[in-house]
Amino acid sequence: MSTSKLEKKIWTLEQKLREEFNAELHSGLAKLLARVDHLETEMLLLKGDTPPVPTNSNPKDALASDFPEDPSPRQIAQAKPGQVVPLVDTGREAWDETPQNEVQDMKDLEDVLEPVGFHESTWNVVLVLGFTEAGWLDNFIGVLLLLASAALQVTISLILLSEDFLGEPFSKHISHAEKWRRGLAHDYKHMDLSEVSLASRVCNKDDTIIVSTSQANLIAQINAFLSIKPAQLEPTEMRRGILLCMLCIFLWCLYLCNEFRSIGLSVEAILQVPRRAHSKFQQGRLVSISYARCLVFCCARLVRGMIAAFLLYGGILWLANTTSIKDLVLNAVALGAILDVDEMFFAALMPKKMQIKIQDLEAIKVVYSRRRSQFEAVLLLVIMTVLLLWPWFQLVEPLGENMKLVKKKFCDGDQDFVVDVNENQEVTIGRNTVPFSSNRNATLIEKAVTDFAFSEGRVWQRILFEKNRKFESKRTQTMEAIAKTVLTCENFDSWLDDNQSLDMLAVYGPYWYSTAHSVGFPDNSSCEDMRQLCDYEGHHLLRLSCGVTCGCEDVFANPWYKVEHHGCSKGCRDSMKFGKMRDLNCTDVPVTARTWQDFWQMYPDEVESLAVVLSQPLRNEVKAIAQKMMTEGCRALLNVSEDPVTLTNYCAGNTNPELWSAAPLRQLCPATCCSQASSPSCPTQCCYDKIDCDNADCNDAAVRENCQRTCGQCFA
């Protein structure tokens, strides 16, 4: 509580206590005198005497001479501090009038008197300088502290208003967000292991990112400030940051309003002190003040008011530019500390003699009428309204709109794609990515690292360890290369319960334990569980680990992707070509066979995916070929033997990864295909001499074509 408020409360309490004491005293004594008079009358009547006629009609008159009245409120107000006002006898005539007048006088005094105290501040050194009985050094230090605190507050005010402190306008983040979204956000190099783009990770609050952390922090601040969820672009509830910002500005305005009011009252109080040629200081009270001291004090208060105005303006700008909801309250508290610098200088460094003298300064009462009070209240209300409307419309609300615009520049539109540039062709190449999910499953590499680092299982379950020299070659090894090393045709899951197959698991175990994850199945899935995915293009690892289930050795399986660079092992392909194919009848599959129909239904899409742009005539030709094959069956191969796009022979199939990849159709159409050209993978029954081949010259290509059995063209 301030000194002025404390003194006013003490003075008001003193008047009330005096009034209550007087009322109780007079009431009790009046009753007592009435009873005494009654007893005297009864005693006289008992004696037979006639009671005297009372000269005073009011029993209070009898008390007037013995019990003097309290001093009037004006006498109390005019008394000097510490002076005791004696009770005086106002006479019997004033009994009926004095109490009512005193009550009215006290009410008037409560309306017009306001004690104005002097705070413990370096600014009040001017009032006591020369009256402290301190040495010249104390006086010099006091003046120096006054100048130092003022200079410090002025310096801080100027810094608050500088562009370096306030920072660049938030609207500049709009262009920064556009540049980031056009460049780094969709760079394929920043796609994570789960194939999520950097834009999606930043906008959905992925805490594991190590690039674009400043953008992620800015988006997090915007989300918190506007109460926006990561996946939203517009606030759907109360904007807590906007509300807190306005509350902090309101509190700061209240703080400065109190400061301006205190400055004005202190100047008014000093101007009520009589001005003389010399100042006079007596028992903590300024009896008079010199013109020079009064002028210096008013100038100091003017400087303090200017500093407060700078702090008000700079503080509002600073709070309105604070985008972190966590920093708003801290910044508001920091501003209050700046305004209290003079008091901290006073408490910490001011010489004790001067401290005591300033603390002993008596409050000066100023006139405060009802009209002035009402006018001041309305004026302050208008000023506070203006101080709130200005930052709302000019600073805070535009900040919220800019934040929404920045969030849209960062996160609006499609986030799930990445791009790169083909430097040779100068063409932008893109691909779709996986949408962000906070509950996503662990990636394959995350599972592998966790198992090896924290589990006690076998190290080869998810990681294929190699020596340092082989690590780089193994890291870039193709699927075709690993498929050619598997010389048996088995499902890898069949080795799990066979102790004799531990050596095979030591080599191929990581491939099996990575298979289920590669197709999105649980880790404990079997080949049979994943059978329906065998004929999809990207599931190379599934065909390697589940060659039997996926039909890599099945003559009548769908030929698409049943080649080594799509995962079918060499062991399965050899088993089919040199084992099962040899024993087949020389008979084509019927046109209604599901395998034949499935192959040609997939054919147009697979061929079209090989070319960036496929002309409409060529697209129509491919579809016509597929329709012809599904209608006529294998005999259509006699008329159409090559793919018009890749010039690949249907009967021979293709293992070139740059073209469409399928096993030879010879396994479905042995009669048709083996009648066109000899092949070591034709069934034995399709391999025969077409002419008399006795004494034939097998070095001649035409002879070999007609003398397949004689020249050893069947499974040579």
Winning range, highest mean pLDDT, from 35-49, 53-67, 210-224, 497-511 = 210-224
**What gap in Å lies between CA 452 and CA 445, rounded to an integer?**
11
Grade residue 82 by pLDDT with cuts at 50, 70 and 90.
Answer: very low
Closest CA to 244 of 262, 269, 226: 226
pLDDT in tens, 627-684: 999 999 998 988 888 888 888 888 888 777 666 778 888 888 988 888 766 566 778 7
What is the rounded end-to-end Cα distance, in angstroms, of the chain?
111
Indicate the SS3 state at residue 360: coil
Segment among 87-96, 218-227, 475-484, 673-682 with least mean pLDDT: 87-96
Write out the H or E segment, with its range, that includes residue 61: helix 61-64
* Residue 527, phi then psi, degrees to nearest 5: -60, -35
Q: Is the pLDDT of residue 464 over 50?
A: yes
Question: What is the average pLDDT value for the chain, to the nearest integer?
Answer: 80
Residue for token pair 């084992």: 579
Q: Where are the domains of the chain?
A: 3-111, 117-437, 441-544, 683-716
pLDDT digits (tens, 9 = 90+) for 338-353: 888 888 888 888 888 8
CB 77 within 8 A of CB 109: yes
Q: Which pLDDT value is given to residue 529?
A: 93
Q: Is the dihedral of CA 118, 121, 126, 131 positive or negative?
A: positive
315's CB contacts (< 8 A; 6+ apart) are 160, 252, 256, 332, 335
Q: What share of the chain is helix, strand, coil (3-state, %, to 5)?
A: 60, 5, 35
Contact 422, 429 (CB under 8 A): yes
Residue 546 has pLDDT above 50, yes or no: yes
> What pLDDT shows up at residue 195?
83
Maximum Cα–Cα distance for the chain, whole Å? 189
CB within 8 Å of 668: residues ≥ 6 apart: 555, 556, 559, 588, 589, 593, 595, 596, 599, 634
Task: Taking residues 463-475, report their average pLDDT.
Answer: 75
Q: With 60 as the cut, is the pLDDT of residue 84 above it? A: no
Please check the confidence at residue 92 and state whether its pLDDT lies above 70.
no
The mean pLDDT value for 240-265 works out to 90
Q: What pLDDT is stored for residue 627 in this prediction?
A: 93
Lowest mean pLDDT among 53-62, 602-611, 687-696: 53-62
Q: 635 with 672: CB under 8 angstroms?
A: yes
Q: Among 44-58, 222-236, 585-599, name the one with the lowest average pLDDT.
A: 44-58
Per-residue pLDDT of 396-410, as tens digits, reads 999 999 999 999 999
Please enumerate in sequence order all residues whose Cβ is within 8 A of that of 493, keeping only pairs 6 or more positions apart, or say none.
512, 526, 527, 545, 546
Q: Mean pLDDT throughout 373-395?
A: 90
Any idea which of 141-150, 492-501, 598-607 has the lowest mean pLDDT? 492-501
Output the six-digit token pair for 677: 């050209």
pLDDT digits 0-9 by tens, 411-443: 998 999 999 887 765 678 888 888 887 666 677
Report the distance separating Cα 299 and Cα 49, nearest Å.
Answer: 83
pLDDT at 390: 92
Instruction: Identify the residue with better confidence: 499 or 10.
Output: 10
Rounded (5°) CA angle 153-159-164: 165
Share of the chain above pLDDT 70, in %: 82
Would you call 282 helix, strand, or coil by DSSP? strand
Estimate to the nearest angstrom the gap between the alpha carbon of 668 and the chain centroid.
61
pLDDT of residue 680: 65
Instruction: Give pLDDT, residue 112.
Output: 56
pLDDT for position 50:
64
- Could you tell me the pLDDT band of residue 597, with boundaries at 50, 70 and 90? very high
Helix or strand holding residue 300 (H, E): helix 291-320
Residue 121: name the closest of 150, 91, 160, 157 by CA: 150
Per residue in 134-177, pLDDT (tens digit) is 788 888 998 899 899 888 888 888 887 787 777 788 888 999 99
pLDDT tens figures, 675-708? 766 566 778 777 766 676 777 777 777 777 677 6
Tell which residue, 250, 404, 237, has the closest CA to residue 316.
Answer: 250
In this predicted structure, what is the pLDDT of residue 32? 85
Burial class (CB in 10 A: 0-12, 13-18, 19+), 342: buried
| Alpha-carbon gap, residue 33 to 365, rounded angstroms | 42
Measuring CA to CA, which residue among 459, 474, 472, 542 is closest to residue 506?
459
CA distances from 325 to 241, 316, 330 (A): 6, 15, 10
Number of other residues whose CB lies within 10 A of the CB of residue 407: 24
347-371 pLDDT, tens digit per residue, is: 888 888 888 888 878 888 887 778 8
Higher pLDDT, 549 or 76: 549
**679 in Cβ contact with 584 (< 8 Å):** no
pLDDT of 180 strictly over 90: yes
DSSP character at residue 133: -
Q: Which residues are registered as beta bridge partners of 689?
A: 707
| Per-residue model confidence (pLDDT) at position 434 | 85
- The answer to whether 316 and 252 are in contact (CB under 8 A) is yes
Specify the residue for token string 């309490």.
13
For residues 458-475, average pLDDT: 71
Predicted local distance difference test score (pLDDT) of residue 156: 84
The pLDDT of residue 245 is: 92
